[in-house]
Chains A and B, each alone.
Chain A
Amino acid sequence: MLQLALVVVVLSVLIFGWLRLLPGGPVSALLGDRGTAESRAELTDALGLNDPIFVQYFAFLGRAITGDFGTSTGVSPGKPAMELFLERFPATIELSIAAILIALIGAIPLGYLAARRRGGWLDNAGVVGSMIGISIPIFFLAFLLKYILSIKLGWLPTGGRQSADIEATRVTGFFVLDGLLTREWDAAWDALEHLLLPALALASIPFAVIFRITRASVLDVMDEDYVRTARSKGLTRRIIRDRHILRNAMLPVVTTVGLQTGALLSGAVLTETVFSWQGVGQALAIGFERKDYPVLQVVIIAAAMAYVLVNLLVDLSYAVIDPRIRTAQKVS
């Protein structure tokens, strides 16, 4: 918790100062080529951008303590930045969960199989494929998927979270879940169709990384003495796999999953932009273009918090997987 608070404070200072030191600003973004010298000066003044940075920072901090993180100037002008973040966060979470599920469900079994049949066709294809998955730029993959699956074949929509003309009731902000909860099956299906392509694109890197780690880790573990012992004891393949190989091989995989989940946001910036996904990543991209200070501050700080929290969860999950850590905790 202390760690989290420290991250937030240090980051808020850095972000605040850095944004304001960049050339340009919200005044140009708002007034564009219609701004005159007077109207620009007036707006700069109205936005309090003439004050020294530290005065602005403490004013921001003072408001932030009361729960007011400023209002958006560019992404959705006039909307409180925190409200905007909370409204868009489910979109990014929905996308990230879908991507990480695709990666987990696909990559772990594949990685295990590749390791068990080392040198086989599956292994070779997997190793090459994952190399491509890691190295292909995510926006290029996104375009490619979109071009083939939605434009040429017309199977899936090109972007957005739901068709514009579908009447959907909003409950949680997770569109697929909302459709299920309200039994608007067509809305849920439609949301799922919209989710698939961006999730696939976003899953490409975690999929490839998790595949490689699983494979390497399983290969390591298979050579361990305890596996040989288990085998010589005559335990069934299934028990060896579940209790001895997978369980031990999972530790590095879980670490990787944690890191990859945290890193999803950077991928989400590109994926959400390409697929017009109204999430936090898109807000970040538009926010930078339009110099939306309040939104950028909230999104970047919240993203950092999410990163810290995910890694905390990963630490906790070690204890579930590895009994030694549990015992060590109990002893101490």
Chain B
Amino acid sequence: MLQLRVARTRRTALIGLAAALAVSLTACAESERDTGGGQEGGTLVFGATGAPSNFDPFYASDGETFRVTRQMFENLVGIKPGTAELEPELATKWESSPDGKTWTFTLREGVNFHDGTPFNADAVCKNFERMYGQTGAGATAALSYYWIENFGGFSDGANPSLYQGCTAENPTTVKLELTRFTATFPTMLSQDSFAMQSPKAMDEFQANNVKAQGDSFVFSEYARSHPTGTGPFKFTSYDEANGTIELARNDQYWGDKAKLNKLIFRVIEDETARKQALEAGDIDGYDFPAPADWDSLKAGGYNLQIRDPFNILYLGITQKNNPALKDLKVRQALAYAIDRESLVKSVMPENSEVATQFYPSSVDGYADDVQKYSYDPDRAKQLLREAGHPNLTVELWWPSQVTRPYMPNPQAIFGAIKEDLEGAGITVKPISKPWAGGYLDQVEVADAQLFLLGWTGDYNSPENFIGTFFGTTENQFWTSGSPWGQQLATAIEDADSTVDAAEREAKYQQINRDLMSKYIPAIPLSHSPPAIVVSPEVQGLVPSPLTKEEFAAVSVSSPE
């Protein structure tokens, strides 16, 4: 009995201790909730497919980061909603000198950053000097991808830069000087990375303080929790433990104020989980629903919007490892052997189009009269015989563990192409590797022979497509394997530096014709549109071909 009593006393003491602990914890755990605050505009919760890398768009290159920063930041030039066309944003107009190297921007008046500091010519120059002045880790492609792609080098002079200088003529006039003319300017400034950020906030929170540490990068205080732009939404918080990013309406916005009170992005990594979250009403929409789900989403009453395609899927050809592929007739035979009509109909999502050249028709320099290759296996066989390769054997590489908007189902695409090639008497050796598990590693260093890959355009520019593909000769296509490789690269560079717009357009059209008749460095397959889906309560979402949706005009009617 005594023993029992002791045990009971011990138990009581334990409970007492636990209670005391709980009380003391409660004492130091105060709710930080602010009470009050109107809810009139409503809240939209949008499902993101991944966590943003940081909130400083200059150091980002991924869509999930830009989806968030786009709502908070603005650029000198903007994109008209629903199109790929330029429109004024923070600059109301711009004009260039006759040689196209000096650009004068007239800035919008009465614009303030979220921290209350004014947006003016001085701020623009500080932004450009900041981007141009990157050093160390900040000057690597992993962080400054878009600067390097568009402007080239930095102020250290290690690589030539497009950027020359910036002058604030007066508070609303800014002059940007370039080292050469390029047709991509000023359109390139519409890219999210070149957003205008508050110089004061960038100083205060040491925006440039990025470091390569060990085997990764460390972002600045600014990039993690103090992004400060001029846009219709401003940053509230990033709750990493719950995977939610919260933005609030900027009530001091210069233009039409956002309709929503709050805009929340919730990270849901799993594709099926996103769909289910929408169906259960946990989120109000998400991006890139799988084409296989399109019909069931539409049937469920959801507002599924298919964008205009602004991408390209191609069958890449590496002219390095298989000598037969250096023969134009062999490459033409491949083009004839593939039934792209049926590929687009049976494997690609609704509203996909057969690609006749390397970019969609909405991009400048598109040529209607390129040589077309309709499905003709007999012609393919004949061309192979003429080339002396009647029993051609090729490796066909395709990636697993990935879906891209231009390639929603790599395995099915591979299957269709393999069958077509075999139909033309070609022996296909399939090689499959995980996307980030060897595929890109090897394809990019020209280890493949035939391979599936594609590209989503950043902005309306031929340079962004064919310049990326064929502007250099020793990449995945290895066009240096053929005598015309350098010639093609030079022609693209020449077109880009042609100041006269009509002349430039003609040059690009000619390049597209040559690409499809004289060169065929790869076989364009299709343009396939990505979709975005929102619940029926969501109004005002304008899908963007560039997948750059803005949520300022979006509202949500409460279902309750």
Q: Does B270 interact with chain A (Cβ within 8 Å)?
A: yes
Q: Let me know if A159 and B282 touch, CB within 8 A.
A: yes
Interface size on A, residues (CB 8 A): 84
- Write out the residue numbers on chain A whose beta carbons fall within 8 Å of the beta carbon of B483: none
Q: Does B142 interact with chain A (Cβ within 8 Å)?
A: yes
Bound state CA distance, A182 and B401, in angstroms? Answer: 43
Q: Let me know if B241 and A161 touch, CB within 8 A.
A: yes
Q: Does B3 interact with chain A (Cβ within 8 Å)?
A: no
Q: Let me know if B43 and A159 touch, CB within 8 A.
A: no
Q: Let me know if A78 and B217 touch, CB within 8 A.
A: yes
Bound state CA distance, A184 and B53, in angstroms? Answer: 31
Bound state CA distance, A60 and B215, in angstroms? Answer: 9
Could you give, for residues 246-276 of chain A, a 1 whenever the CB lies within 8 Å of some chain B CB and a 0 otherwise? 0000000000000000000000000001111
Shortest CB distance A330–B (Å): 17
Q: Does A88 interact with chain B (Cβ within 8 Å)?
A: yes
The segment out of A3-11, A39-47, A109-117, A309-317 that lies at the interface is A39-47
Q: Does B235 interact with chain A (Cβ within 8 Å)?
A: no
Shortest CB distance A78–B (Å): 4
Bound state CA distance, A70 and B211, in angstroms? Answer: 12
Which residues from 82 to 105 on chain A have a C-beta closer than 8 Å to any C-beta of chain B? 87-88, 90-91
Which residues from 185 to 233 on chain B have a C-beta closer than 8 Å to any C-beta of chain A? 212-219, 223-224
The segment out of A119-127, A217-225, A286-294 that lies at the interface is A286-294
Could you give, for residues 27-61 of chain B, a 1 whenever the CB lies within 8 Å of some chain A CB and a 0 otherwise? 00111111000000001010000010110000001
Q: Does A164 interact with chain B (Cβ within 8 Å)?
A: yes
Shortest CB distance A319–B (Å): 16
The segment out of A128-136, A168-176, A206-214, A228-236 that lies at the interface is A168-176
Q: Let me know if A28 and B441 touch, CB within 8 A.
A: yes
- With contacts A43-B142, A68-B213, A171-B29 taken as known, whether A77 is within 8 angstroms of B440 at the C-beta atoms is no
- Write out the residue numbers on chain A whose beta carbons fall within 8 Å of the beta carbon of B26: 181-183
Bound state CA distance, A30 and B212, in angstroms? Answer: 14
Bound state CA distance, A285 and B269, in angstroms? Answer: 10
- Write out the residue numbers on chain A whose beta carbons fall within 8 Å of the beta carbon of B244: 160, 164
Q: Does B507 interact with chain A (Cβ within 8 Å)?
A: no
Name the CB-closest residue of B to A24: B437
Bound state CA distance, A37 and B468, in angstroms? Answer: 12
Q: Does A34 interact with chain B (Cβ within 8 Å)?
A: yes
Q: Let me know if B268 and A159 touch, CB within 8 A.
A: yes
Q: Let me know if B240 and A76 touch, CB within 8 A.
A: yes
Bound state CA distance, A7 and B215, in angstroms? Answer: 24
Bound state CA distance, A184 and B34, in angstroms? Answer: 12
The segment out of B271-279, B380-388, B489-497, B546-554 that lies at the interface is B271-279
Q: Does B176 interact with chain A (Cβ within 8 Å)?
A: no
Shortest CB distance B171–A (Å): 35
Q: Let me know if B45 and A164 touch, CB within 8 A.
A: yes
Q: Does A12 interact with chain B (Cβ within 8 Å)?
A: no
Shortest CB distance A190–B (Å): 11
Q: Let me know if B243 and A276 touch, CB within 8 A.
A: yes
Q: Does B459 interact with chain A (Cβ within 8 Å)?
A: no
Could you give, for residues 235-264 of chain B, a 1 whenever the CB lies within 8 Å of some chain A CB and a 0 otherwise? 000011111101000000000000000101
Q: Let me know if B444 and A169 touch, CB within 8 A.
A: no
- Write out the residue numbers on chain A whose beta carbons fall within 8 Å of the beta carbon of B281: 154
The segment out of B8-16, B333-341, B351-359, B428-436 that lies at the interface is B428-436
Which residues from 141 to 188 on chain A have a C-beta closer than 8 Å to any C-beta of chain B? 143, 146-147, 150-151, 154, 157-165, 167-171, 173, 175, 178, 181-184
Shortest CB distance B348–A (Å): 18
- With contacts A91-B241, A159-B276 taken as known, whether A23 is within 8 angstroms of B51 at the C-beta atoms is no
Shortest CB distance B388–A (Å): 32
Q: Let me know if B29 and A169 touch, CB within 8 A.
A: yes
Which residues from 86 to 142 on chain B have a C-beta closer than 8 Å to any C-beta of chain A? 137, 140-142
* Of A32, A36, A47, A91, the contact of B216 (CB 8 Å cutoff): A47
Name the CB-closest residue of A to B141: A39
Name the CB-closest residue of A to B136: A46
- Write out the residue numbers on chain B whose beta carbons fall within 8 Å of the beta carbon of A158: 273, 276-277, 279-280, 282
- Write out the residue numbers on chain A whose beta carbons fall within 8 Å of the beta carbon of B272: 143
- Write out the residue numbers on chain A whose beta carbons fall within 8 Å of the beta carbon of B140: 42-43, 46
Q: Does B404 interact with chain A (Cβ within 8 Å)?
A: yes
- Write out the residue numbers on chain A whose beta carbons fall within 8 Å of the beta carbon of B216: 26, 47, 70-73, 77-78, 294
Bound state CA distance, A278 and B268, in angstroms? Answer: 9
Most chain B C-beta atoms within 10 Å of own C-beta, residue among A56, A60, A78, A160: A78
Q: Does B266 interact with chain A (Cβ within 8 Å)?
A: yes
What are 15 residue pairs bridging A and B, where the CB atoms are less than 8 Å apart in the complex? A23-B434, A24-B439, A28-B440, A33-B440, A40-B445, A77-B219, A78-B216, A78-B219, A79-B240, A146-B276, A154-B280, A181-B25, A182-B32, A276-B267, A276-B273
Known pairs A24-B440, A77-B217, A278-B242. 18 more at Cβ < 8 A?
Answer: A24-B435, A24-B436, A30-B142, A39-B148, A70-B216, A78-B54, A79-B240, A90-B241, A150-B280, A160-B243, A160-B244, A160-B268, A173-B241, A273-B270, A273-B273, A285-B269, A293-B215, A294-B214
3 closest A-B pairs by CB = A23-B438, A39-B141, A24-B437
